[in-house]
Amino acid sequence: MNLLVCGGAGFIGSNFIKYMLDKYPDYKIVNFDKLTYAGNLDNLKDVENNSNYKFVQGDIIDLEKLNETIKENNIDHIINFAAETHVDRSIHGGCKDFVLTNTLGVQMILDAVKFNNIKKFVNVSTDEVYGALELDEDREFTETTPIWPNMPYAAAKAGGDLMCNAYFVTHKVPVVVTHCSNNYGPYQFPEKLIPFFVFKLLKGEKVPVYGDGLNVRDWIHVVDHARALDLLLHVGVPGEVYNIGSDNEHSNLELTKMILNIMGKSEEMIEYVTDRPGHDRRYAIDASKIKSLGWFPEYSREKFEQGLRETVEWYQNNTEWVEKIWEKKKNEMNKFQENLERSKDKMKSAT
């Protein structure tokens, strides 16, 4: 396989590339990434000299560059992780880039797939496109649950997913869409919950929990997600959607207490803060369709504590990795923090 990985310098993409290079010594991988604030080539240090791996800096909305990269490298399969992914940024920082990358960018890849006769394209998406469930609702998202996103991030992702369906029906483009739950594991950008909390606690600071902390998410290990995507690249049926999840639901408060426990900190380190506007209450995934293809999460619910402990320890042992990112992305991060505080103040005075 000659595989183009869009957005491979981020959290899930970099874990996926390393997993694939390790498992398939004869596959060639080209990582096509814009290197936004969230893209980090340090995630791929272990493989940067691997002769089957190559990096190309590019933006997925640049169709010409996509076509050129595909031709030069005889690409026959594509997987897309490229996205603006931080929900708080889509709320407090403006969401134009979200629509550009998550919707228009996917459409550009679909054009490239069509133009270059690519054998299969997997578009990696999220369970957040389904909207929210109530805490006491006895149901999970299935592949036929209507797309009804509540947040700009999720709406922009849903735009890309709908384009995939339209290109499959209209142009017979061989595309598979995945909807996965919350990932955890190493190399996640430290503005996301788990690494953010670990680094705050390491600095002796309290961790901010939104609202009552009872919002529930399903947590999947990033390597289990990579294994599912590997399977779908090979046997996923074009035109189909696949949910990916671990039956591992926990409230944010439960997760926070688990992190505190692993790090030997008391619950006094929790600080409850004003809830995120439009904060979805619960996501839950029915993953029986992909399980029927033989996939199952190795980090099952029973092994979550072990997976979380390994993840927390990875961040504790790799503080240099995070310090380097903060240093490199300092201006961008400070600008976002200022916007965030300003936007929260505006919201407070409006209510």
CB 60 within 8 A of CB 67: no
Could you confirm whether 153 is annotated as catalytic?
Answer: yes
Please indicate whether residue 33 is annotated as part of the active site. Answer: no
From 153, 184, 242, 299, active-site residue: 153
- Site residue total, ligand NAD (CB under 6 A): 30
Which of 180, 170, 124 has the alpha carbon at shortest distance from 8?
124
Q: Which residue is nearest to ligand NAD (CB)?
A: 10
Residue with token string 């949910």: 243
Q: CB under 6 A: which stretch of 4-12, 18-26, 47-55, 291-299 binds ligand NAD?
A: 4-12
Phi-psi region of 239 (alpha: psi -120 to 50; beta: other; left: phi over 0): left
b/e 294-318 (16+ beta carbons within 10 angstroms → b): ebebebeeeebeebbebbbebbeee
128-187 residues in contact with ligand NAD (CB under 6 A) are 157, 180, 182-183
**Binder among 30, 44, 47, 59 for ligand NAD (CB under 6 A):** 59
Q: Does 308 bind ligand NAD (CB under 6 A)?
A: no
Site for ligand NAD contains 229 (CB under 6 A): no
**7 counts as binding ligand NAD under rule CB under 6 A:** yes
**What distance lies between CA 141 and its chain's CA centroid?**
18
Instruction: Residue 171: count other Cβ atoms within 10 Å of its Cβ.
Output: 13
The separation between CA 88 and the C-alpha centre of its own chain, rounded to angstroms, equals 14
The catalytic position among 33, 84, 127, 161 is 127
CB neighbourhood size of 265 (10 A)? 18
**Considering beta carbons, is residue 85 or 248 the nearer one to ligand NAD?**
85
332 is catalytic: no
Q: Which of 167, 189, 199, 295 binds ligand NAD (CB under 6 A)?
A: 189
Among 28, 34, 120, 329, binds ligand NAD (CB under 6 A): 34
* 248 forms part of the interface with ligand NAD (CB under 6 A): no
CB 103 to ligand NAD: min, Å: 11
Q: How far apart (Å, rounded) are the C-alpha atoms in residues 312 and 325?
A: 18
In sequence order, what are the beta bridge partners of 126? 180
Interface with ligand NAD by CB under 6 A: which range of 27-35, 46-54, 139-147, 309-317? 27-35
We find the least distance from the C-beta atom of residue 320 to ligand NAD, in angstroms, to be 19
Q: Are 231 and 290 in contact, with CB atoms under 8 Å apart?
A: yes
Instruction: Decide whether 132 or 265 has the Cβ nearer to ligand NAD.
Output: 132
Q: Does 10 bind ligand NAD (CB under 6 A)?
A: yes
Phi, psi torsion values for 155, nearest 5 degrees: -65, -40
Q: Which of residues 87-106 bind ligand NAD (CB under 6 A)?
A: 101, 105
As to burial, measured by CB atoms within 10 angstroms (0-12 exposed, 13-18 middle, 19+ buried), residue 45 is exposed
User: Can you give the binding site for ligand NAD, defined by CB under 6 A?
Assistant: 6-7, 9-13, 33-36, 38-39, 59-61, 81-85, 101, 105, 124, 126, 157, 180, 182-183, 189
Please list the active-site residues.
127-128, 153
